[in-house]
Structure 1
């Protein structure tokens, strides 16, 4: 048993009030790991105060909603942040006000924060880490049906329904154990996969307007006028990011989404070329094959696409 797990368990036992945070603009793994851990702790320590904190869940309310947490609750509390690589991305900046701070994550630990840091970049998702943690201490931690549902959702979300390379034998083993708790997995999978009609129509636009080069680099720009025409919010464009991956000739791609502040949010994905270094150069970061960044204007959009093209060209040459 790793000492870091034991250290985290001892911290959990020590504090009577625990507040759990995750990143802004949450995805299923952010909610799954955050509230999945909260549900494990509620089932294990019914005498403790357990809260899940953060802003709007942006269409993921079928998974969970956040608690209203008063400022004074942070005094003397243990704060745990899941699935968040760097401190500026934590939703609700009160996360620093507790007596102790724990970071649990699966992204590269480029910006460490917290008194205890547990990062496992080999895990498919933060939800996988939390599930593994809960199952590691059967005498102390209780997996509930609701916790299992949430953690399974997080794993499914971050593995693309077990299609992405981060899926391992352990991922599938833990998912199988979670399924045994009897939640409606078929319903959950439908909820995770379902899109609105307006997003479906925007998907058609993406396929018709994707720009690609001879080395498999691709981009799609979603400007303000287009988002308004289709009535789609930024949070809903997350459903589009995997679509270019179904095109056989593409290796890496970016979707540039206009933001009300005037810049572009950049969603980066790859089937081989490393893209997180590109993201880091443009106010972002993430995994080797799945990252996010920001572009201040169309000039930086072109710059990022040029870097994706270079990465694809280099990857093609290295695999010939």
Structure 2
């Protein structure tokens, strides 16, 4: 880690600390944030986790959730906390643009910044940086940081479960190539520290609303297509679909992965209408760099096998563009990989 010794010295005395993460936090973003918050509070610091937006209900079981400040609707309080912080930890995002209006507050704050992330192309704004695209999840890096500071024994059961949630989800239930021996060693340690991995899995994967389950069934039967002549599948959801199933934040989480469950499919995508734009998630298998397609054509990016993007065309135009791209007009997808 860049400037580890200086950060360790700074943490020796009580500080006012803000932890923030990206828009629409997932299990890694929130688990990393709450796991780190628990650790820093054990050191005697005053800590507040601020998320730019709300997040899925199936993540609210994590200890510390009740104290998370959602920026939207609490802008003045968030600004006060950021302006008066001694340290701001920025987790699971590589650029301040990824946290919306909160990003400029963080940039302008006199607090020193700590960037901990595993995404490509980190922005230069932090005095302390723990960054690696080799890490499976930001939760892995949070564990590594605590270990570097010599404090693994300070990780409580609740902290271990929050970090495990991040590792479990960002590795696709430990199926993705990013699942290294180091990841499994961390999981073993978290279990030894009390993490109930069955409970975490149940809370994340088996905790859906009836509307969400019905949306899943509808999407699989009515909104799933495989592009002829290619190993590419995709889903789409219209605004009307979302209204029909009382769509809530997180209801489409993981849906894109079902495309990769089809025999011979190597790329899956989902396109979701959202207030004048189309949100997109991509997944791929093996050596197919889906992040390159996302970055070049859909204003996005991410990891090699998991990326996101956005289109400002309408849904039909966006889907047709995607179909044309994957039917041989680009070299980004190596289907033989």
Match of 2:174 among 137, 141, 162: 162
> Which blocks of at least 5 consecutive residues in structure 2 are unaligned?
none
Counterpart of 1:19 in structure 2 is 18
1:204 aligned onto 2:217: yes
Go from structure 1 to structure 2 and tell me whether the alpha carbon gap of 1:176 and 1:207 turns closer, same or farther (over 3 Å shift).
same
* Displacement after TM superposition at 1:141 (Å): 7.7
Which of 83, 86, 91 is the equivalent residue of 2:95?
A: 86
Q: Structure 1 residues 98 and 35, CA, compared in 2 at 3 Å: closer, same or farther?
A: farther
CA contact (8 A) 2:14 2:46 kept: no
Answer yes or no: is the 8 Å Cα contact 2:54–2:249 preserved in 1: no
Residue matched to 1:191:
203
- Number of equivalences: 314
Q: Is residue 265 of structure 1 aligned with residue 279 of structure 2?
A: yes
Q: Which residue of structure 2 lines up, in the alignment, with residue 50 of structure 1?
A: 47
* Local SS of the residue matching 2:55: coil
Q: For 1:4 and 1:81, how far apart are their aligned partners in 2? A: 16
Secondary structure, counterpart of 2:270 in structure 1: strand
Q: 1:128–1:171: 8 Å Cα contact kept in structure 2?
A: yes
| CA contact 2:18–2:85 (8 Å) conserved in 1 | no
- Alignment of 1:233 with 2:231, yes or no, is no
- 1:234 is displaced (CA, Å) by 5.0
Per the alignment, residue 307 of structure 1 pairs with: 325
**TM-score of the pair, normalised by structure 2:** 0.85
Q: CA deviation at 1:314?
A: 4.8
Deviation at 1:20, TM superposition (A): 0.6
Cα deviation, residue 245, structure 1: 1.5
Match of 1:291 in 2: 307
- 2:131 aligned with 1:119: yes
Task: Give TM-score scaled by structure 1 length.
Answer: 0.89
How many Å apart are 1:57 and its aligned residue?
A: 2.8
Can you list the C-alpha shifts for 1:108-127, whole angstroms capped at 9, x where unaligned?
A: 12544323332111111000
> After TM superposition, where is structure 1 displaced by more than 6 Å over at least 4 residues in a row?
none
| Deviation sequence 1:144-171 (CA, Å, 0-9, x none) | 2221111111111111211111110000
RMSD: 2.3
